[in-house]
Amino acid sequence: MVLVTGATGLVGSHLLLLLLENGEEVRALYRNEKNIQQTKALFEWKGRLDIFTKINWVQGCLTDIPSLEKAFENIDYVYHCAAFISFDPGDEEQMRKTNIEGTANIVNMCLSYNVKKLCHVSSIAALGDLQEHETIITEETEWNPEISRSDYAISKFGAEMEVWRGQEEGIPVVIVNPGIILGPGFWNSGSSEIFQRVKKGLKYYTEGATGFVTVEDVTRSMYQLMKSNIQKERFILVTESITYHRLADLIATSLGKPKPSVYLKPWVTGLAWRIDWLISTFFFKKRQLSKATAASLHTQSEFDNSKIKNALNFEFEDIPNYISKVSATV
């Protein structure tokens, strides 16, 4: 039997669909019963409610050991998709607890229940930092602890350290490092929210660039890695690096909406995160823009995806074509 954590999120929901379509027996960990409806809606949209009923749902939390013990009974393979994502510095403690301690708990459960293989969903945020002579980030790019980065990135790097510990203690593991994941079904949260913002008339853009990938490519590569003999490896899952400006333009064109036309200069976003900090401090509002996030809006990063291509003979879906396809469902 296969266990999927984070089963009600974007990756987890699409992974459940893929696993069931391939005849796998699946158990899904969830925290809130209301969130199951999002996953059900995805299956309904895909016309696969017939297999949705085959999911063995177990309520639990990454930091609640008794609930994990129940979830791990008779489990052979684990896909660890669950994570807490936030760019609000005020969420640092919760992020570390969920992403690092929670992953440590998953690793320990895998060891205790003799799980045959673990696939951990990390992020390109956990990858290393380019040296002056380097131009593209690979799986081997070294992490520099002296460089300032988001609390989310630090928590995902810490989670990877727990997974590597599991490998050393006897669990075959693979780690995937997806870029920003695009996919249907969760338009009002996470990375897919950009579609809704453009649909509502997003006016502003920046020229920063990062890696993007479709959710189907993420789940497909995860499944193939788990079915292979590959272990003790991490893989960048990025189709291509795209500027935020170009991404917004592609979405606007697909939706028949005006393209963003106002360029936000670095000093503007620099001022914005400071104002956001003041509002958060004095009016107890949740942070919307951190210093690290503001800086990333103007940073251009390139990623090498050749490792996954060579390992699995893997081909990524074209991002512009994918945006045109999924925009019809927004």
Q: How far apart are CA 323 and CA 311, in angstroms?
A: 27
Confidence of residue 277 (pLDDT cuts 50, 70, 90): very low
Residue with more model confidence, 75 or 297: 75
In angstroms, the Cα distances linking 30 to 15, 105, 208 are 14, 16, 35
Q: What is the pTM of this model?
A: 0.90
Distance separating alpha carbons of residues 208 and 246, to the nearest angstrom = 10
DSSP state of 304: -
Q: Is the pLDDT of residue 266 over 90?
A: no
* pLDDT greater at residue 230 or residue 270: 230
- Flag whether pLDDT at 150 surpasses 90: no
* pLDDT score at 116: 97
Q: Where are the domains of the chain?
A: 2-184+212-238
38-62: average pLDDT: 92
Percent over 90 (pLDDT), the chain: 60
Is domain 2-184+212-238 in CATH 3.90.850.10, yes or no? no
* Most confident region among 76-90, 135-149, 153-167 by mean pLDDT: 153-167
For residue 282, pLDDT beyond 50:
no
Q: What is the pLDDT of residues 206-252, one digit of tens each?
A: 888 889 999 999 999 999 999 999 999 999 999 999 998 898 899 99
> Residue 290 — pLDDT band, cuts 50, 70, 90?
low
Residue 280 has pLDDT above 60, yes or no: no
Query: Is the Cβ–Cβ distance between 210 and 296 less than 8 Å?
Result: yes
Here the tokens at position 4 are 């999927």
Whether residue 156 has pLDDT greater than 60: yes
Reply yes or no on whether the pLDDT at 146 is more than 90.
no
| 265-297 as b/e: b if 16+ CB within 10 A | eeeebeebbeebeeebeeeeeebebbbbbbbbb
Q: What percent of the chain has pLDDT over 70?
A: 88
